[in-house]
């Protein structure tokens, strides 16, 4: 019978839709809808068991579903871990909708979503929540709760590390496990990754934010393994954990099953979303095609890449062709150069090669674009040579907050030009400087922030202790990023305070105003 479920599932605690609902990747006429159904109590995530069932979906203009705009039925089963993912088409641009799923007579929670404005629409303003690095074991997701309470956001941009692959206790809250991972071991298999995705989607604040707004998501490394690159990862040992290719395939399958994202042809995740004439959001994949991380002068090897040739060509051509006022780039690792302890190599002349100093100085994190200097020079040179203005990189990964000008040549900045700006958001819950060192906030971090400012003049502001999120306000004449800090990442009822704001005026290519609270 269509949509029928065994009675024991319908009466079970949590019901058939215990992992919530979600939407994502809004286009002018379509949006991705997602849920997961539990048809029987043995059909748990990663179990590979349970019957195939039909799940209905509805999209309506009103919360009572009296004006249904689109509907259909999807069959799901253990082959897709009982997830349901629908690319709903034929919707109106720039329109808010309600949606739900039905299994038998049981309805899921109702979600709210919206389509993007038409490409030619004159949009005066948009706001997005911006988040990164949400680690279950390191705390609660209060950042999601505060974003879900807002009524002024179009959607959420998640810049990667939506979940973490570690075993329990391997990466927590400075040595304290706030909530234990399931499974308890480091995840490796398809069943493992499915179980870990399911665990995260039991968080009530994550569920609330997914149901409240469409998400635009890109992965970073921990969706697979730490410091992942095209052929492996820092914490993957083929001798004991099997071929990396098998682990990668398992993680990717689970990811596309459990996340409301739209893949490109060939399974590529880098993609663009346009919002009228105001903004275009380019989401990058900086893990699947990158060379292995290295150090020293090797970071300047022209054969090394962080994007891969095809993605770089796609990125440059898209930036050149963009017809919107602003070009936002969802960028999982920092593009602004950050160097400590050395003068830039070009100032040292021939001694630089003998001393082993890379052209951009000694980077503090070669997992960022600092470890792939040829690609960075190519991209920033393209922005400069093509006179592409109003480019703002939105970045996560490093669990701290930054506001940067992105210089064409860091060593001579500010005499040399800035070609873009960068806003880096803190972690939702993952460890940062004071957590890792086990010291009180605003102690050691203040010294580090001073060193950063002294040796990197394009770094206009950095805060290394707070956990929280950002809200970016995109207008025709300026982009404004506001950073918010949580009172305590380990508490679900954490409060939030304003941390700082940065403004870039249209056409300026540099931050034009910075405020700290």
Is there a single domain that holds both residue 214 and residue 361? Answer: yes
Specify if 1 maps to a domain: no
- What lies within 8 Å, CB to CB, of 221 at 6+ separation is 160, 161, 227, 228, 233, 287, 367
The confidence score (pLDDT) of residue 291 equals 98
3-state secondary structure of 417: coil
Q: What angle do CA 54, 19, 50 make, to 5 degrees?
A: 45
**Residue 2 in domain:** no
* Helix (H) or strand (E) segment spanning residue 23: strand 21-24
Domain tally, the chain: 2
Q: What are the structure tokens assigned to 45, written together?
A: 């995530």
Decide if 440 is inside a domain: yes
| The residue to which tokens 């002018």 are assigned | 28
pLDDT (0 to 100) of residue 454: 84
List the pLDDT tens digit at each of the 517 positions of the chain: 334 555 454 445 679 999 999 999 999 999 999 999 999 999 999 999 999 999 999 999 999 999 999 999 999 999 999 999 999 999 999 999 999 999 999 999 999 999 999 999 999 999 999 999 999 999 999 999 999 999 999 999 999 999 999 999 999 999 999 999 999 999 999 999 999 999 999 999 999 999 999 999 999 999 999 999 999 999 999 999 999 999 999 999 999 999 999 988 888 999 999 999 999 999 999 999 999 999 989 999 999 999 999 999 999 999 999 999 999 999 999 999 998 644 444 444 544 554 455 666 667 789 999 999 999 999 999 999 999 999 999 999 999 999 999 999 998 999 999 999 999 999 999 999 889 888 888 888 888 888 888 889 999 999 999 999 999 999 999 999 999 999 999 999 999 999 999 999 999 999 999 999 9
CA–CA distance, 473 with 423 (Å, rounded to integer)? 12
Place of tokens 């703002």: 392
Side-chain half-sphere exposure of 208, counting CA atoms within 13 A: 13
Q: Are residues 151 and 110 in the same domain?
A: no
- pLDDT for the residue 342: 42
Strand order in the sheet with 391-395: 271-275, 279-283, 326-331, 391-395, 418-424, 401-407, 459-463
C-beta of residue 125 within 8 angstroms of C-beta of residue 296: no
Residues 216 and 274 in one domain: yes
Is 486 a member of any domain?
yes
Task: Indicate whether 131 and 41 sit together in one domain.
Answer: no
Q: What was the pLDDT predicted at 363?
A: 72
* Domain final residue pick, 114, 145, 168: 114
Three-state SS sequence of 246-302 = HHHHHHHHHHHHHCCCCCCHHHCCCEEEEECCCEEEEECCCCCCCCCCCCHHHHHCC
Residues 64 and 154 reside in one and the same domain: no
Tell me, what's the pLDDT at 455? 87
Verify that 134 and 74 share a domain, yes or no: no
Could you tell me if 287 and 320 lie in one domain?
yes
8 Å CB contact between 174 and 465: no
What pLDDT score does 348 carry?
Answer: 46
Is residue 457 in some structural domain?
yes
Of 65, 87, 114, which residue constitutes the final position of a domain? 114
DSSP characters over 184-246:
SSPP-SHHHHHHHHHHHTT-HHHHHHHHHS-EEE---STTTSTT-BTTB-TT--HHHH--HHH
Question: Per the omega criterion (within 30 degrees of 0), is the bond before 183 cis?
Answer: yes
DSSP strand pairing (279-283 vs 326-331): parallel
For residue 11, the model assigns a pLDDT of 41
The CATH number linked to 97 is 2.60.40.380
First to last CA, the chain: 60
Is 480 exposed, middle or buried (CB count within 10 Å of its CB: 0-12, 13-18, 19+)?
A: middle
Q: In what order do the strands lie in the sheet with 513-516?
A: 83-88, 31-36, 21-24, 215-217, 155-158, 125-131, 468-475, 478-486, 496-505, 513-516
Backbone angles phi, psi at 421, to 5 degrees: -125, 165
Q: What is the pTM of this model?
A: 0.95
Question: Are 109 and 133 in a shared domain?
Answer: no
| β partners of residue 463 | 401
pLDDT of residue 347: 46
Question: With left for phi above 0 and alpha for psi between -120 and 50, is residue 25 left, alpha or beta?
Answer: left
Asked if residue 313 and residue 180 are part of one domain, the reply reads: yes
- State the CB neighbour count (10 A cutoff) for residue 40: 18
- Cβ distance 399 to 427 under 8 Å? yes
**Do 106 and 170 have their domain in common?**
no
In a domain, 286, yes or no: yes
Torsion of CA 407, 412, 413, 415, to 10 degrees: -120
Residues 18 and 146 grouped into a single domain: no
Domain limits for position 344: 126-516
pLDDT for position 13:
62
Q: Are residues 434 and 298 in the same domain?
A: yes
Residue 393 lies in a domain: yes
- Which of the listed residues 73, 93, 114 is the one where a domain comes to its end? 114
Query: Is residue 21 included in any domain, yes or no?
Result: yes
CATH of the domain at 161: 3.60.21.70
């Amino acid at each position: 019978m269509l949509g029928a479920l065994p009675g024991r599932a319908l009466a079970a605690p949590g019901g058939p839709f215990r992992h919530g609902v979600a939407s994502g990747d809004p286009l002018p006429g379509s949006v991705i809808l997602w849920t997961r159904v539990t048809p029987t109590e043995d059909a748990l995530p990663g179990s590979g068991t349970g019957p195939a069932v039909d799940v209905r979906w509805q999209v309506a203009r009103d919360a009572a579903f009296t004006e249904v705009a689109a509907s259909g039925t999807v069959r799901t089963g253990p082959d897709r871990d009982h997830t349901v993912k629908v690319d709903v088409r034929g919707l109106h641009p720039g329109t808010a909708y309600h949606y739900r799923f039905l299994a038998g007579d049981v309805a899921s929670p109702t979600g709210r979503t919206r389509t993007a404005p038409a490409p030619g629409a004159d949009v005066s303003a948009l706001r997005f929540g911006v988040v990164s690095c949400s680690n279950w074991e390191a705390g609660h997701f209060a950042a999601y709760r505060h974003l879900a309470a807002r009524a002024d956001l179009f959607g959420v941009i998640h810049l990667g590390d939506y979940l973490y692959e570690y075993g329990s206790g391997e990466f927590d809250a400075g040595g304290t496990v706030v909530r234990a991972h399931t499974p308890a071991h480091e995840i490796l298999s398809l069943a493992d990754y499915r179980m870990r995705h399911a665990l995260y989607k039991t968080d009530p604040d994550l569920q609330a934010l997914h149901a409240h707004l469409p998400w635009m998501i890109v992965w970073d490394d921990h969706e697979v393994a730490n410091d992942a690159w095209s052929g492996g990862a820092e914490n993957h040992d083929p001798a004991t954990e099997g071929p990396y290719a098998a682990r990668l395939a398992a993680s990717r399958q689970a990811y596309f099953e459990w996340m409301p994202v739209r893949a490109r042809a060939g399974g590529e995740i880098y993609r663009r979303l346009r919002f009228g004439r105001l903004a275009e959001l380019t989401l990058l994949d900086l893990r699947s095609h990158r060379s292995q991380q290295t150090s020293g002068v090797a970071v300047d090897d022209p054969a090394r890449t962080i994007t891969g040739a095809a993605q770089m060509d796609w990125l440059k051509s898209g930036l050149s062709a963009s017809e919107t006022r602003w070009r936002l780039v969802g960028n999982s690792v920092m593009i602004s150069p950050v160097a400590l302890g050395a003068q830039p190599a070009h100032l040292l002349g021939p001694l630089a090669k003998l001393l082993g100093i890379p052209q951009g100085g000694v980077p503090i994190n070669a997992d960022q674009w600092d470890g792939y200097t040829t690609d960075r020079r190519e991209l920033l040179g393209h922005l400069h040579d093509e006179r592409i203005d109003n480019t703002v990189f939105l970045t996560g990964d490093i669990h701290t907050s930054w506001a940067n000008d992105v210089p064409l040549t860091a060593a001579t900045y500010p005499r040399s030009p800035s070609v873009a700006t960068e806003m880096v958001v803190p972690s939702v819950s993952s460890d940062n400087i004071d957590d890792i060192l086990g010291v009180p906030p605003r102690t050691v971090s203040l010294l580090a922030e001073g060193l950063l400012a002294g040796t990197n003049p394009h770094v206009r502001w950095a805060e290394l202790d707070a956990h929280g999120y950002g809200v970016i306000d995109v207008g025709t004449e300026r982009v404004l990023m506001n950073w918010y800090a949580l009172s305590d990442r380990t508490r679900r009822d954490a409060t939030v305070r304003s941390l700082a704001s940065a403004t870039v005026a249209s056409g300026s290519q540099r931050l034009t105003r910075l405020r700290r609270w």
